[in-house]
Amino acid sequence: MASCPASAVLAALLGSYRPEGGAEDADLRRLRALAAAAADPWRRDLPLHATASALVVHPATGRVLLRWHQRQQGWLQVGGHGDPGESDPLAIARREAQEETGLADLTPWPDDAIRHVVIVNVPAGKGEPAHQHADIRYFLATRTPDSARAESPDAPLRWLPAAAAWAATPEANLGETLTRLQRLLPG
């Protein structure tokens, strides 16, 4: 394993994670290999690099917050890249979620467990070649859903019932993440 703290932190977190199904098992094996081989698995210039994201949920209403992603042309979860020196995927997901939604009260829900690991193809754009994200996903809860504010006009936010969010997203892998969330919601 690489000796970089970022690699060590990621490898330790992934060591106890158990995938649900063959596709996630294959993605997890690729992410573990990345953590073992790369000095910094969060570096954006790697063709496959780690990212962290979250489904923001308001548990009292069972709604989730989706953000419009221009490059993917669809409603997706919030999240993204680690900044230099960051290595904790939950902290990265929370920071990104706060930046993209303006919600200051985000907390891991119902706990701080990783909820899904998936390799996502990202199309070329803004001077970047096509590449892949090894996305580590969490659930974050807010008690103040009406406080959500879009980071920019071209990245609007949308609250939807978890079941309806399926129809709003073009990504099957996000559908799987939504299914995992729905299993935890009451009713």
What are the DSSP calls for the chain, one per residue? ---SHHHHHHHHHHHT---SSHHHHHHHHHHHHHHHH-S-TT-TTSSEEEEEEEEEEETTTTEEEEEEETTTTEEE-EEEPPPTT---HHHHHHHHHHHHH--S--EESSSS---EEEEEEE--BTTB--EEEEEEEEEEE-S-GGG---SSTTS-EEEEEHHHHHHH-S-HHHHHHHHHHHHHS--
CA dist 97 and 79 (Å) reads: 6
Greater pLDDT, 180 or 123 = 180
Per-residue pLDDT for 1 more than 80? no
Q: What average pLDDT does range 72-95 have in this prediction?
A: 94
CA dist 67 and 157 (Å) reads: 5
Least confident stretch, 57-66, 80-89, 96-105: 80-89
Query: Phi and psi (nearest 5°) for 28?
Result: -65, -40
Predicted local distance difference test score (pLDDT) of residue 70: 87
User: Which band of pLDDT confidence, cut at 50, 70 and 90, is reported for residue 8?
Assistant: confident
Least confident stretch, 21-30, 42-51, 67-76, 85-94: 67-76
Q: What average pLDDT does range 30-54 have in this prediction?
A: 95
CATH of 48-184, one of 3.30.1950.10, 3.90.79.10, 3.40.50.140, 1.10.10.60: 3.90.79.10
Q: Provide the greatest CA pair distance for the chain.
A: 46
Predicted local distance difference test score (pLDDT) of residue 78: 98
User: Which band of pLDDT confidence, cut at 50, 70 and 90, is reported for residue 71?
Assistant: confident
pLDDT over 70 percentage in the chain: 98
Q: Spell out the residues 6+ positions from residue 78 whose beta carbon is closer than 8 angstroms to its own.
A: 53, 54, 56, 65, 67, 96, 97, 100, 101
Q: What average pLDDT does range 72-94 have in this prediction?
A: 93
Query: CA Rg, the chain, in Å?
Result: 16
Predicted local distance difference test score (pLDDT) of residue 9: 87
User: Which band of pLDDT confidence, cut at 50, 70 and 90, is reported for residue 23?
Assistant: very high
